Chain A
């Protein structure tokens, strides 16, 4: 199985700060995804990457950017954090040859 790890389980930041959420997976040629999870809304796709330095917007990209300089690492960036970005953020990796995705444990971000 793909193993996906996220740099922090809990994070507290202040409004206006630049925030980096890191995700690392342990297989080559993987697609990677960033979602946010909010009660009653399920998971919504923010951005995804299908190759190094390649990215595409998901359903809710506003206020976020991403970086993928190496295949195993996919970073989500909040350029100027706002309180409405308080959420659970989940990273996922896609197994080559399958449509299954494997998720990291999540980062619960609070913006004060």
Chain B
């Protein structure tokens, strides 16, 4: 079945540091890929997405590129802020058959940014 693996966390950075959170996936066909973010005490929000190979999703300074050859969708940001402290989830959706757009999530990565 489909699966998503995220880098082990938690990740702790100083403000303005560079962020990478690794994500790799296993899926049949051509899934859509997502990054969701969960701020403390809140539900998940879609951060960015990519629906086909070589697409780059971007939002709020975050970027991720859909790499089919390496089955990866790593999240990056050039300069993190304290307000980026949250839990980040990589996810995929495989539209084939009767999946109805179900999401398969990675285990989540806790990011803490210090001033």
Chain A residues near B (Cβ < 8 Å): 4, 31, 33, 35, 40-45, 48, 50, 56, 58, 90, 92, 94, 98-106
Contact = CB atoms under 8 A, between A and B. Distances in A.
B32 interface: yes
Contacts of A101: 46, 101, 103
Contacts of A90: 43-44
5 contacts: A48-B100, A48-B102, A92-B103, A100-B34, A105-B42
Contacts, number: 56
Contacts of B44: 43, 90, 92, 103
Contacts of B45: 103
Q: Chain A: interface secondary structure?
A: strand
Q: Give the interface size class of chain B.
A: 20 to 34
Nearest to A4: B43
Nearest to A32: B100
B107 to A, nearest CB: 4
A33 to B, nearest CB: 7
B46 A100 contact: yes
B73 interface: no
Contacts of A92: 44, 103
Given A99-B32, A99-B93, A100-B34, A58 B43 contact: no
Given A42-B4, A90-B44, 20 more contacts: A4-B43, A31-B100, A31-B101, A35-B105, A42-B105, A42-B108, A43-B89, A43-B105, A45-B102, A48-B102, A58-B102, A94-B100, A100-B49, A101-B101, A102-B46, A103-B43, A103-B44, A103-B45, A105-B43, A106-B43
